[in-house]
């Protein structure tokens, strides 16, 4: 317990970064504009997920505790990233979420992640015609 307490003090602030990845090459100016809007929205979604994963709710605390414990079990190593596929509805709500890659203890955090990211819609609707799913990479970084 003392080791865990020391660990908590050494890692002062948790930040979860999200990066939504979209691909594609534009052929025309309107295609370029469309892809630019998709990319901007993907970044917006990543920032929204970051805010959701920095909340004080019990599921968020369990999510962070899971990775803190993982780091302790693995000699202070930085947890690997989590890749998820996210389908958003017309209102910006998460309609479906699938984990693509995560630690071997997948069930331990998948339910919490699902609960966190589906609790409220994104504050902005997706652009018309935006392909789904979004591929999102989440990773934990710690700030002193």
Give me the residues of the chain with pLDDT under 70, please: 1-31, 76-80, 102-106, 108, 140-144
Sheet arrangement for strand 94-101: 13-21, 134-143, 82-88, 94-101
Question: What pLDDT was estimated at residue 144?
Answer: 45
Question: What pLDDT was estimated at residue 72?
Answer: 78
Please tell me the pTM assigned to this model: 0.69
- The b/e string for 62-81 (b: 16+ C-beta within 10 A; e otherwise) is bbbebbbebbeeeeeeebee
Residue owning tokens 């890692």: 11
Question: What pLDDT was estimated at residue 76?
Answer: 66
Question: What pLDDT was estimated at residue 73?
Answer: 78
């Amino acid at each position: 317990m003392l080791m865990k307490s020391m660990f908590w003090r050494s890692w002062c602030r948790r930040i979860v970064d999200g990066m939504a990845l979209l691909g594609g090459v534009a052929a025309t100016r309107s295609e370029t504009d469309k892809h630019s809007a998709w990319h901007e929205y993907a970044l917006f979604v990543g920032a929204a997920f970051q805010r959701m994963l920095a909340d004080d709710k019990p599921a968020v605390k369990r999510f962070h505790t899971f990775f803190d414990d993982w780091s302790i079990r693995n000699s202070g190593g930085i947890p690997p990233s989590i890749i998820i596929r996210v389908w958003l509805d017309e209102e910006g709500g998460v309609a479906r979420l699938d984990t693509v890659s995560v630690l071997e203890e997948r069930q331990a955090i998948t339910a919490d992640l699902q609960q966190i990211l589906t609790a409220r819609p994104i504050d902005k609707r997706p652009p018309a015609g935006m392909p789904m799913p979004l591929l999102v990479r989440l990773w934990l970084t710690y700030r002193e």
